[in-house]
């Protein structure tokens, strides 16, 4: 093309085609110079990545799916984003979610639903449905989501891709909009297990800006994914715990267990902690933490402010009432109630004790080097045209919340189909043993 001097501006003051071409060529040359410099070739060099819109990316809208933050732009990068950039990845953009990560469908953000690339009449599952759809549709090879109670694993299962929720503390939460701080972890999604491993290895590791992050050596998870290896023993659940699955999902799960057995794993069955208690404990604790975390959105410091109020309390109340969606308001009310005097010991205390017992049960499944194998969802992704109340989705989290309550890592692995739609299973390991999950997933896939 013509590399001559830029032509004068066009009639309406816009740069001419020649000027724009010149500009594009200069940018390309600058990129080319950077590409040729060995300093900028990190392990993720050139990898396009999408991140969930509750992870701060400097300069991009950071809405957490809430109308309250519709116009908010992040003034800084989350630690995970800084680390991705340092490794050479390209942040392609942010992706849709349920408001503040509260949901299992990706239909509850102010931007509306994300469609499942496998069948666009259906939900992706949530709350990291945007990242999962971006990966499953082939727009990006990998994405970051967050997993408070299942939010990377459920959409991964519904979209037919891999995802990992790491051990609590493995990845920094700095720059993540907090939902329930004792559960929130950044997770990764990808179509390829080794890419998933590379991304997790790059974002993991202690961070002085997150006191709950842990500084311990980060293994090379991509190398673990390249060494297929099954554990000697798989612990899973019996028929009683599988009754809630629809028939095709039960068959698909039995087939997955059968594949582990044929590959030589010893299969042991246990009963899950009472699912009603697990779901209740998770939602009570998550809502209690959310009510505290979301108090920062007061219409003064961040986000939407309802103008013309007479006093500070009415500014708070009206801004929050207008800005938050129904489900978020419900959870704040529930959380505030269980933390208030008179309820705190009876409800919050009981939920904390239930969490302790559930954690002990989950950890006991790992005796003798076993991994725990569970379904991810009870049923296939529903049609967008058949919405259900948010509360009806809570029980669907009964399997994924166990890793969240116990703080252990869990990987979502594609395991064939049910009713013509993707089916996924999850494997859980003791804390800090994500490498075993990568190797087992590689052997299974
Ligand atoms: N569905 C669960 C909830 O709504 C989990 C969501 C998540 O992991 N962010 O709390």
What pLDDT sits at residue 437?
Answer: 98
The residue assigned the tokens 């997955």 is 256
**Strand 233-237 relative to strand 266-270: parallel, antiparallel, unpaired?**
parallel
Q: How far is the CA of 322 from the centre of ligand 1 (A)?
A: 22
Residue 404 Cα: closest atom of ligand 1: 8
Q: How far is the CA of 52 from the centre of ligand 1 (A)?
A: 14
Q: How far is the CA of 107 from the centre of ligand 1 (A)?
A: 13
Read off the pLDDT band of 2 (50, 70, 90): very low
Contact 203, 167 (CB under 8 A): no
Ligand 1 pocket, residue 397 CB under 6 Å: yes
Ligand 1 pocket, residue 147 CB under 6 Å: yes
Ligand 1 pocket, residue 106 CB under 6 Å: no
Residue 394 Cα: closest atom of ligand 1: 1
> Which residues make beta-bridge pairs with 259?
none
The average confidence (pLDDT) of the chain is 93
What does the pLDDT average to over 228-246? Answer: 97
Cα(112)–Cα(96) distance, integer angstroms: 9
What does the pLDDT average to over 354-383? Answer: 97
The residue assigned the tokens 């929050």 is 320
> Of all residues in the chain, what percent carry a pLDDT higher than 90?
82
Digit-coded pLDDT (tens) for 81-121? 999 999 999 999 999 999 999 999 999 999 999 999 999 99
What does the pLDDT average to over 325-353? Answer: 94
What pLDDT sits at residue 40?
Answer: 61
Pocket mutation for ligand 1, best pick of 97, 102, 281 (most atoms within 8 Å of C-beta): 102
What pLDDT sits at residue 339?
Answer: 93
Residue 98 Cα: closest atom of ligand 1: 9
What does the pLDDT average to over 250-267? Answer: 98
Distance of CA 161 to the CA centre of its chain: 13
What pLDDT sits at residue 39?
Answer: 63
Reply yes or no on whether the pLDDT at 165 is more than 90.
Answer: yes
Q: How far is CA 387 from CA 105, 162, 261, 263, 286, in A?
A: 10, 26, 38, 40, 23
Digit-coded pLDDT (tens) for 288-301? 999 999 999 988 88
Length of the chain: 445
Please list the active-site residues. Answer: 52, 127, 151
Q: How far is the CA of 104 from the centre of ligand 1 (A)?
A: 6
Ligand 1 pocket, residue 127 CB under 6 Å: yes
The residue assigned the tokens 């297929």 is 228
Read off the pLDDT band of 23 (50, 70, 90): confident
What pLDDT sits at residue 38?
Answer: 62
What does the pLDDT average to over 73-81? Answer: 96
What pLDDT sits at residue 5?
Answer: 39
Which of 197-201, 307-311, 339-343 is most confident?
197-201
**Which of 43-57, 294-308, 410-424 is the least confident region?**
294-308
What does the pLDDT average to over 376-390? Answer: 95
Ligand 1 pocket, residue 380 CB under 6 Å: no
What does the pLDDT average to over 209-213? Answer: 98
Ligand 1 pocket, residue 102 CB under 6 Å: yes
Ligand 1 pocket, residue 150 CB under 6 Å: yes
Q: How far is the CA of 102 from the centre of ligand 1 (A)?
A: 5
Handedness of CA 339, 182, 173, 67 (dihedral sign): negative
Residue 365, by phi and psi: left (phi above 0), alpha (psi -120 to 50) or beta?
A: alpha
> Of all residues in the chain, what percent carry a pLDDT higher than 70?
95
Reply yes or no on whether the pLDDT at 286 is more than 50.
Answer: yes
Asked if the interface predicted TM-score (ipTM) of this complex is over 0.95, the answer is yes
């Amino acid at each position: 093309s013509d590399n001559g001097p830029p032509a004068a501006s066009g009639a309406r003051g816009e740069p001419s085609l020649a000027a724009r071409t010149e500009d594009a060529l200069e940018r390309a040359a600058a990129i080319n110079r950077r590409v040729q410099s060995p300093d900028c070739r990190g392990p993720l060099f050139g990898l396009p990545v999408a991140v969930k819109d509750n992870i701060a990316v400097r300069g991009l809208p950071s809405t957490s799916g809430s109308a309250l933050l519709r116009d908010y732009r992040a003034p800084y990068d989350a630690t995970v984003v800084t680390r991705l950039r340092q490794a050479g990845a390209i942040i392609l953009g942010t992706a849709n979610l349920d408001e503040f990560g509260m949901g299992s469908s990706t239909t509850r953000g102010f931007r509306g639903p994300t469609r499942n690339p496998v069948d666009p009449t259906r939900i992706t599952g949530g709350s990291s449905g945007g990242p999962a759809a971006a990966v499953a549709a082939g727009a990006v090879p990998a994405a970051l989501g967050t997993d408070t109670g299942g939010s990377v694993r459920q959409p991964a299962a519904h979209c037919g891709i891999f995802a990992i929720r790491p051990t609590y503390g493995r990845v920094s939460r700095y720059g993540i909009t907090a939902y329930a701080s004792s559960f929130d972890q950044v997770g990764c999604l990808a179509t390829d297990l080794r890419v998933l491993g590379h991304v997790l290895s790059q974002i993991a590791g202690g961070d002085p800006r997150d006191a709950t992050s842990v500084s311990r050596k980060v293994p090379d998870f991509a190398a673990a994914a390249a060494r297929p290896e099954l554990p000697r023993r798989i612990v899973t659940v019996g028929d009683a715990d599988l009754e809630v699955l629809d028939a095709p999902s039960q068959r698909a799960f039995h087939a997955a267990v059968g594949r582990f057995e044929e590959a030589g794993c010893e299969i042991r069955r246990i009963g899950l902690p009472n699912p009603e208690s697990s779901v209740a404990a998770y939602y009570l604790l998550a809502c209690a933490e959310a009510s505290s975390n979301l108090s920062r959105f007061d219409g003064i410091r961040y986000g939407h402010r309802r103008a013309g109020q007479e006093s500070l309390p009415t500014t708070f109340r009206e801004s929050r009432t207008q800005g938050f969606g129904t489900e978020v308001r419900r959870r704040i009310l529930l959380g505030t109630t269980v933390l208030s005097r008179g309820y705190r010991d009876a409800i919050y205390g009981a939920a904390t004790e239930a969490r302790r017992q559930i954690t002990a049960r989950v950890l006991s499944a790992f005796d003798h080097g076993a991994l725990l194998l569970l379904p991810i969802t009870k049923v296939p992704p529903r049609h967008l045209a058949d919405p259900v109340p948010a509360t009806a989705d809570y029980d669907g989290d009964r399997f994924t919340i166990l890793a969240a309550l116990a703080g252990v890592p869990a990987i979502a692995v594609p395991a064939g189909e049910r009713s013509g739609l993707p089916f996924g299973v999850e494997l859980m390991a003791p804390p800090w043993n994500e490498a075993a999950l990568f190797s087992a997933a590689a052997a299974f896939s």
